[in-house]
Amino acid sequence: MPSCSDDETPLISFIIPFFNRFTLLRRAVESLTASAFQNFELFLIDDASTAAGLEGSLRALRVLKPDLVYHRQPKNEGQHNARLQGLARATGRWVFFMDSDDALFERESLPRMADFLLRVEAQGGAEIVLLCVAQWVTQDGEMRRHQQSVVAADKLTEREIWTTDAVLTCANSWLSQYGALWNYMYDRKFLLRDPVAPSAIRFGEDCMTANHYLFRSERTALFRNPFYLRFLDAEDRVCHQPQNTVKALRDGLSGLEKAQDFKAGLSPGKAGFHASQTAHYMRALLAQLDPGDMQKIPEYGWRELAAFIAPETLQGYGERHFNGGIFDVAINLFSYLLATEPKNPLPAVWLAFTAASQNNAEAAAEFIALVRQRAPADAELLIDMGNVFLQSGHASLARDCFASAAAIEARDATRQTADERPLKYPS
C-alpha cells in the first residue's frame, strides 16, 4: 500500500472558519498537530473577527503549524461562505470542515484516519466518509469524552464502503438531528464537481451543505473509530454574528415546494432522510421564535410546515398562539389538525376555546358537539372544558359541557362498581 508521503499533495485539507474565540481555536489546532502525521494543510478563515488579540493568537498558532494559511473575509458573511473560501484554496485529496471550538478525538485519530483513507482509495474510492463523533460532556460531575456511534455497531459490518442509500437508511435518526459537516470527510474533487452555492443563511448552513452532497453521492465509507470531539463546555458558543431567524424560516419555507419536487427524484433511503432532516430543521427554527415572530409566518407557511412536523408539535404551537392571543394562526393550526387527525378531540377543544375567546358562542357550541362525537365516553374531558368556560365567564357553554358529562355518567352508571367515586359537577 502506498504511504501518505508518496507525493506532495496533502492527504487532508482542514478548513476552520472562525469568528473571534481565539483561545478555543488554539485547542482545535493543537489537536491536529499532536501526532507525528503532518501530511495535511490547514486553512483558518476569519469571518471578520472583531475581538482584540488576533495577531498574537495567529503567531502562537503558526508555532504549531508554520505553513497554515490565514484568510480574512472583508466582511462578516457567515460560516458557510467562509468555508467556501477555504475550499477554493484547498489542494488536499480529502477535505474536512472543522468547527473552531472542537478538536480531534485523540492523538492517534489523524494517523488512523490517514491509513483508512488510503484503504478507501485502494478499494475504489468513495465520495464521503461518515465519521464516528464524540462529545465532551459532564458525567458524574466530571467532564468526559462520550462516544456516539452514527451507525449501530451491528449494522453494515461486512465492509468499509457502502452505497450512500444504505448508510442513510441505517443512520437516518442520528443524521436527521446532527447533520453537521463534522460528521463527514469529503473527497475534494467530488465537492468541486457540483459545488454548493454561496448563501447568507446562518442557521443550519452546515446541514444544508452536508445534504447537498449526501444527495449527490453514491459511495460512502464508514470510519468506525472515534475521530471528532465536540466540546459543549465553551462559555462563548457564538461562532458568528446574529441572524434574523424569521427571515431564515421564511427562506426555508419558500424552498419547501421546490424541495418536494427534488425529493420525488431521490432513492428511498435518501428520500426518507430528506423528510426527516427537513422536519428537524424546521422544528429547530420554530423553537427560536416567539409568538410575535410566529405571526409573521404567512398562512401558506403553516400548511407547508404541517407536512414535516408531528401533530403534537403543531398542537403545541397552536396552544402557544392561543395563549398569546394570536387567534388567526391558532385557528389555522387547529383546523388543519381537525381535518388530518379525525380521532383526536383536542383540536376541537381548542377551537371551542378560541371561538369563545372571540365571543362566538354558536361556533363554540358546534365544536363542543364535535368533542362529544370524537370522545363519546370522556366525561372528564368535558368537565375540564366546562371549568375553563366557567372561569372565563362563558356560563352557558360551561353548562353545555357539564350536561354532556352528566349524560355520559348516567349512561355508564350501571357499569360502575360500588367503590367508584362519582364525578362531581359544579352547581
Give the three cell numbers for residue 378: 370522556
Write down the domain spans for the chain.
Answer: 12-241, 244-340, 345-427
Query: Which whole number is the average pLDDT over 6-32?
Result: 89
Domain 345-427 part of CATH 2.40.160.10: no
**Residue 322 CA: distances (Å) to CA of 117, 306, 360:** 55, 18, 15
pTM more than 0.75? no
Q: Are 29 and 42 in contact (CB under 8 A)?
A: yes
Of the chain, the percentage scoring pLDDT greater than 90 comes to 49
**Is residue 205 very low, low, confident or very high in pLDDT (cuts 50, 70, 90)?**
confident
Main-chain dihedrals φ then ψ at residue 225, nearest 5 degrees: -75, 145
Give the three cell numbers for residue 265: 427524484
Beta bridge partners of 186: 95, 128
From CA 205, how far away is CA 99, in angstroms rounded? Answer: 13
User: How confident is the prediction for the chain on average, in pLDDT?
Assistant: 83
> In the predicted model, is pLDDT for residue 208 greater than 60?
yes
Q: What is the DSSP letter of 328?
A: H
- DSSP-H helix ranges across 126-237: 164-177, 188-193, 205-214
> In the predicted model, is pLDDT for residue 57 greater than 50?
yes
Q: Are strands 12-18 and 40-46 parallel, antiparallel or unpaired?
A: parallel
**CATH for the stretch 12-241:** 3.90.550.10
Position with higher pLDDT, 312 vs 236: 312
From CA 323, how far away is CA 294, in angstroms rounded? Answer: 13
Tally the C-alpha atoms within 13 A of residue 308's C-alpha that lie toward its C-beta. Answer: 28
| Chain position carrying cell 408531528 | 310
SS3 label, residue 359: coil
**Is residue 199 very low, low, confident or very high in pLDDT (cuts 50, 70, 90)?**
confident
Position with higher pLDDT, 414 vs 52: 52
